[in-house]
Amino acid sequence: MLLYILSKLCPDHPTRKSRLQPFQWQRLTGLYVNHRGGDCGPVAVKFMEMHLNNDPHPGMAGLTDKMVNEFRKKWAMEIYKDAVIPLYFPQ
């Protein structure tokens, strides 16, 4: 029964002309480029945070690997404090 319904609702031939166009993108210049594996999450979160705050100093172009290392340490400690410690010391 389900196959019959699907075959009636979803024909195997296209119902209209496809208007597909090639996808193009261009990287913004002057921003921090992450060349290390494993940093994409913290860097993406920091970019979003900075963008939401109107790109405060040092700005997205001013990020360095050293700063990203500090973000990772800070977030790791926050996760440990909020997720791991309560398992051992419930309040």
Compute the chain's Rg from CA coordinates.
23
Residue 70's domain spans which residues? 29-91
Over the stretch 38-91, which tens digit does the pLDDT of each residue have? 778 888 888 888 888 888 888 888 888 898 889 889 888 999 999 999 999 987
pLDDT of residue 57: 82
Residue 65 lies in a domain: yes
Mean pLDDT of 15-38: 79
Instruction: Please say if the pLDDT value at position 1 is more than 80.
Output: no
Residues in the chain: 91
Decide if 8 is inside a domain.
no
- The burial of 67, by beta-carbon neighbours within 10 Å (0-12 exposed, 13-18 middle, 19 or more buried), is given as middle
Has residue 78 been placed in a domain? yes
Instruction: Tally the domains of the chain.
Output: 1
